[in-house]
Every structure is written in structure tokens, then in C-alpha cells.
Amino acid sequence: MSTLRQSVVNLVESRLFQGTVLTLIIVNAVILGADTFDAVRIAMGPGLGMVDRLIVYAFVVEIFLRIFAERGDYFRKGWNIFDFVIVGVSLAAATSGLAALRAFRVLRVLRVITVIPRMRVVVSALLDSIPGIASVGVVLALIIYVFAVIAANLYGGAHPHLFGDVFTAMYTLFQVMTLEGWPDIAGQVGETHARSWVFFLAFVLIATFTMLNLFVAIVVRVVEEDSGPVVDEVIANQTAIREHLAALREEVAALSARLPK
């Protein structure tokens, strides 16, 4: 490895460089938010857009430095590809006058995920949990469908705006499942069907307290599994440090023993 490339590798891996990138991402997020206020845009004038472009160009330089340091290995990592796409879209948005494309500038904020390792673990866990979440989602959809058919038959005639057909009933039950305003819905049905509370109680217990908690359980399990290698690495580093300290103590003791008394 050439001296120049080694210097670039040391630069991009340094805490100062990573901290600077993280600071630029945070500053950029603040600028993008401030740009939505008319008063700020008027007060800052073109200066706000100029700072935004400078940050984009800084991100481009960062990407080129990382590509130069890692060469072909750069595009073998999924997070690097994510960074490359985000910066590419940001550069296109910064140099384009299209308002729709400029709206995608906010994607730069997502780069904070690639900078902070623990956030990468969380996002990776969410992606890894998609198959399990999809399975639970299918079961949940079936439960909502079954209860919707029952509700349409029992309460559709008296409350067509809530349970007039299966699709209307499914939408109403989805609202009930989120626990947003469901006492009002149950109260309306209860005025014509005194025992409807049994139906709503069963649905809330099954769909909300059971099925939705399964989503959380799946994500938590995957997070624990994905965090395993990180924890093992930390433990290994701590063990290596302890062994190194023990070796240093032995060397100090041996040197002390050789000193004349």
C-alpha cells in the first residue's frame, strides 16, 4: 500500500474525520428544517443554499476519499452503497432546479445511520425481521377480515357507516386496533347492541394486545441476535486489554525484581 493511500486510510478511519462527518450531517439536517420557514429563508437569503451546497460537496469529497482508501472493497459493503446513492441523489438535487428532486435533499439526514454503528444494528435488525413481521401481518390481516365479516353481519344494518360492508368494517376495525377513538365506535354500536362490548373486547385482546406485541417481540429478538457479534467483539477487546495489562504488570514486576535493593 502506497504512503498516500495509507494516509487516506488513516484519515477516513480517524475519530476526528468521522466526528466531522457526523457534525456536517447534523448541521445539514438543521439547515433543511430551517429552509422550510419563510422567515428564515428571507433573513438568510442565498447564504442558506450556499452552505447546503458546500455540505453536499463535502460529502462528495468524503465519498471519493473512502473509495480511494478502500478501492474495489468499497462497493462490496451495503452501507457504502447506501451512502453512495444518498450522496448521488443529494448532488443531483443540489445542482438541479427541479423542486420535486430538491425535496429528496432530506435523504442526507439518513446518513447518520451509517455513521453510528449502533444505529446500523437497529436498521439491520428491522430489515432482518421483515420475513417474521410479514408472517405476523398476514395472520393479523386474516383476523381483521374474520372479525370484519362478523361485524358486517351483526352490526352492518344498524351502522352502515361503520360496518356496512367488509371493507368498511375492516377499516373501522383497523381504527379500533390502533386504540384511537375506539371507545366512541364501541359506544355507537353499544347504543343498538347492548352486548357488542364482548365483540370489541375479544377483538382488542386478540388483535391489539396479542398480535401487535408479536411485532415488537420479533424485532427485539432479531436485535438481540444482530447485537451478538457486536457484544462478542466488545468482550473480546476487553479480554485482550486485560491480558495486555496483566502482561505489563508481569514485566514491571520482573524489572522491579532486577533492580538493586
* 184-226 pLDDT tens trace: 898 898 888 888 889 999 998 888 888 777 877 777 777 676 6
- The mean of the pLDDT values for the chain is 79
The C-alpha atoms of residue 180 and residue 9 are separated, in whole angstroms, by 52
Q: How confident is the model at residue 238 (pLDDT cuts 50, 70, 90)?
A: low
Task: Kindly give, in sequence order, each residue whose CB lies less than 8 Å from that of residue 76, ignoring residues fewer than 6 positions away.
Answer: none
Give the CA distances from residue 10 to residues 1, 76, 233, in Å, rounded to whole numbers and listed in that order.
Answer: 12, 20, 21
| Neighbour tally for 204: CB within 10 Å | 17
Give CA separation, 233 vs 48, 126, 137, 236, 244, in Å: 42, 21, 34, 5, 16
Q: What is the pLDDT of residue 67?
A: 87
Please give the Cα distance from 197 to 179 (Å, whole number): 14
The arithmetic mean of pLDDT across residues 52-74, rounded, is 85
Confidence grade of residue 18 (pLDDT, cut at 50, 70, 90)? confident
Comparing 231 with 91, the larger pLDDT belongs to 91
Q: What pLDDT does residue 253 have?
A: 67
The tally of CA atoms less than 13 A away on the side-chain side of residue 246 is: 6
Q: Which of 13-17, 96-100, 195-199, 223-227 has the lowest mean pLDDT?
A: 96-100
Residue with the larger pLDDT of the pair 148 and 245:
148
